[in-house]
A = this chain, B = another copy of it.
Amino acid sequence: MSINIEKIIQDINWHIEPTNLYEPIGYTLESGGKRLRPQLVALACEMFGKDPQTIENVALAIEIFHNFTLLHDDLMDNSPTRRNRPTVHKKWNANTAILSGDAMMIKSYEFLAKIPEKYWVKVFPLFTQTALEVCEGQQLDMDFEARRDVTIQEYFEMIRLKTAVLLACSLKMGAILAGASDEDQKLIYDLGIAIGIAFQLKDDYLDTYGTFETLGKRIGDDILCHKKTFLLLTALKDANEQQRNRLKSTIESTTQTDSQKIETVTGIYNELNIPNICEVAINNYYLEADKLLQKISVADESKTKLKTLIDKLKIRDK
């Protein structure tokens, strides 16, 4: 099966009144991104036996919801750019970002309700629960910025909620629409959690070790925003006293410039072999995903496309 999700997204007409409400939604959605979640819905559905008409609207609902979270997160983080373009609150203003985001979230429910009614009873509660969990994850992420005692375990719970549950939900939605068994639905959900955690670990990694050109956003934001990333938490755990003190004083410094802070912190990460530790952790989650994929009760050849996508995610640099 193949659905051209990019075309479907670009074809939605947002040139409707009031334009100040809907134009920023079109602007947010047209700017691309990986469309990973719609791909997951489609691949899961195809793996279990497809029903393209029903996939399309669920895929759209999830992609619109995901972009809503980016819109509001960018405002809360005061991020100036996203995908090489000004964020909505920079191009318009904060109120536009708030209200267009709200409308976007409601729109995601509107698209969800376009699927045949027989699926509603499974799809609506999963979507709502996932959406709430994403908010909880974002809240924990913000809470952690002000805390100095975040554990690595708490970090994993945060990224499970903030990132992984929506990928898991996407896969499970595809499985539901294809009529997969409850057991396979659970396996593919857990697989989504594993690749979601790996995905977020890679995001943390790229925020420090990626490039502006590839990512389309500032490098080192996490360091400047006191984000408790896997990199920082592992560094704090592994550091000797002198390194730990340098890390803490640099991050909390009010006299160092942004680039000085990024350079110093990255230097300590390198001393502590953090890039490699992070890569090993990412790899372990992908191995876990592979194991779960093997357990799913469909023929191996049906799993190829999802396997290929997972392999691509492993080596992404943006």
Chain A interface (Cβ within 8 Å of chain B)?
17-18, 20-21, 72, 75-76, 94-95, 98-99, 101-103, 105-107, 109-110, 113, 117, 120-121, 124-125, 128-129, 131-132, 135-136, 138-140, 142-143
Contact = CB atoms under 8 A, between A and B. Distances in A.
18 contacts: A18-B136, A18-B140, A20-B143, A21-B135, A21-B139, A72-B98, A72-B102, A99-B139, A99-B142, A102-B102, A105-B106, A106-B128, A106-B132, A106-B135, A109-B131, A113-B128, A117-B121, A120-B120
A8 to B, nearest CB: 20
Nearest to A104: B135
Given A113-B125, A117-B120, A121-B117, A138 B99 contact: yes
A137 to B, nearest CB: 9
Contacts of A103: 132, 135-136, 139
Copies in the complex: 2
Given A76-B95, A99-B72, A99-B76, A131 B143 contact: no
Contacts of A105: 102, 105-106
Nearest to A95: B76
Contacts of A135: 21, 99, 102-103, 106
A142 B95 contact: yes
Nearest to A106: B131
Given A20-B139, A106-B128, A106-B135, 15 more contacts: A18-B143, A72-B99, A76-B98, A76-B99, A98-B98, A99-B135, A102-B102, A106-B131, A106-B132, A109-B124, A109-B131, A110-B129, A113-B124, A113-B125, A120-B120
